[in-house]
Amino acid sequence: MCGRVGVFRGPRRGRFGRRGAATVELAVVTPILLAMVGGIIEYGYVFMAQSVLTNATREACRLATLPGSETTDVETRFAEAVAVLGLSAQDYDLDIRETGGASPSVTVQVRVPWSKVSLTGGMPVALLNIFSPSGGRGSSRSTDMFASSSMRKELSS
């Protein structure tokens, strides 16, 4: 007789005895994975929105530096550039400033609420405010997305 004698291994369940354990593991892991995937998608979209806003301010500022450009032309160019985000003129605050002097320049700034550019309606900002050191009271975190561009104004010949 070869083999182990007297070793009791308990009842044999085989692969059918753990069927419920896999279901419980799936139920625990799936919401965590879905939240992670949703966070990755949200972060990517907000990153893209910031890039679009920065590029739109640059394009509007470039148009504002040209001789003979009007404020309405600059606003129209900015609106065309942010149309991909689905933003209308009521969704953002556009500020165009010209400075004079020996070296005149133009600065274009835009401020957009997170709720207008976020897929989740600004929920990540709310979470950041909750988990901030001040506990969400008087937090210094901004609830707006901001972009700015500044260029020297071209002088007419």
- Whether the CB-CB separation of 106 and 65 falls below 8 Å is answered with yes
d(CA 47, CA 85): 12
The answer to which of 6-15, 40-49, 119-128 has the lowest mean pLDDT is 6-15
pLDDT tens digit string along 93-115?
Answer: 999 999 888 889 999 999 998 88
d(CA 93, CA 112): 7
CB atoms inside a 10 Å sphere around CB 37 = 10
- Whether the CB-CB separation of 63 and 77 falls below 8 Å is answered with yes
Does 87 score more than 70 pLDDT?
Answer: yes
pLDDT band of 54, cuts 50, 70, 90: very high
Distance from chain centroid for Cα 28: 28
Does 6 score more than 70 pLDDT?
Answer: no
- According to DSSP, the residues that pair with 146 across neighbouring strands are 111
User: What is the CA angle 133-139-141, rounded to 5?
Assistant: 100
Does 50 score more than 50 pLDDT?
Answer: yes
Q: Where are the domains of the chain?
A: 20-152
